[in-house]
Structures are given as structure tokens and as C-alpha cells.
Amino acid sequence: MFITNNIDKEKLKEFSTLSIISGIIMAIAGFLAIIHPMAGSLAFVIFLGALFVASGIVQAWITFKAHQKSAGAWFKVLLLLITGILLLIWPVSGIAAVAILFAAYFFIDAFASFQMGLDLKPLKGWWIAVLNGVLSFILGIIMIIGWPFSAIYTVGIIVGVSFLMDGIVLVYLGILAKQGHYD
């Protein structure tokens, strides 16, 4: 049996159930975003805005407790809060901004997926990570071509496709790990 140095088979088996559950949740969220792309786009940007606001509140608390006189720390708090509030107030404008960030994300995700596929090779299922990389690269190209006019749809569709594929990869690899297929 051949095990690559990058994979600890005991850890892989231990987290196989979590991989399957996470994969199913991601696949369902992805499917819903694909069939309702505007809602998927808005949900994502609103979630992102709320995350920025929550991070700003936490950072404000930490700054208040530990760095009260640090102008840089308070600037970070203001940046997080203002960015989050702007995304929550004007989510459609935020979608256009997020679309460009997603294009960059998908190019980086493609590279990471290609590397994951190479790391998994010659194990069963290595090719599905490469397929995920190819799709991520194509999605990055699509995101750039239609920007900014199609961002309201492409953000939801592209996030949905990415979540769906990542979910499928997690489920597939989790099942292989649970069955003990390491080679």
C-alpha cells in the first residue's frame, strides 16, 4: 500500500465523517445558490457584511481592553465596521466589488485544487480535485468577462458551483477515507 508523505491515514479516517457532513452542507448551499443566483449573491454579501461588522465589534473590544492608545488598532476597527455597514446598506454595490475579489479567489482556488490533486496522486479520486481546479479557473474567467453588469447573477452562480464542487469533493474523499481506500 502506497501512502504519500502528505497524508496521515489515521487523521484522514478520523475526519472522514466531518468531511462527508461538511460536503453535504456545502453541496446543498451551492445547489440553492445556483437555482436562485440573485438570492445567493445577496445572501453572500449580507453574510460578508455581517462578518465584517462582527469582526469590527470583536476587534473594538480587544482594542479597548489591550490597545486603547493605538491609533492603528482603532483604524482597523473603523475599517471593519465601515466596510461591513456599507455592504449591509448597499449590498448590490457590494456584489460588484465582491465579484472582482471572487475572480481572484477562483484563480487561487484553481491553483490550490491542482496542487491538492497532485498531492493526492496516485490515490483514488485525485482527479476530482484537478477537475475542481479546472472549474474554478473557468469560473474566474467568467467572473471577469461579465463584470460589473452580470455580477448580481454571476456571484450567486459561481459561488454556488464552487460550493457544489467543493462539497462533492469533500463527500467523495470522506467516503473513500471511511472505506479505507488510501491507494
Task: Please report the pLDDT score of residue 150 as a whole number.
Answer: 85
CA angle 139, 141, 142 (to 5 degrees): 65
Backbone angles phi, psi at 15, to 5 degrees: -100, 10
This model's pTM is above 0.85: no
As a whole number of angstroms, the longest Cα–Cα distance in the chain is 59
Task: Please report the pLDDT score of residue 7 as a whole number.
Answer: 63
**In percent, how much of the chain has pLDDT > 70?**
92
Q: What is the pLDDT of residues 135-145, one digit of tens each?
A: 889 988 988 88
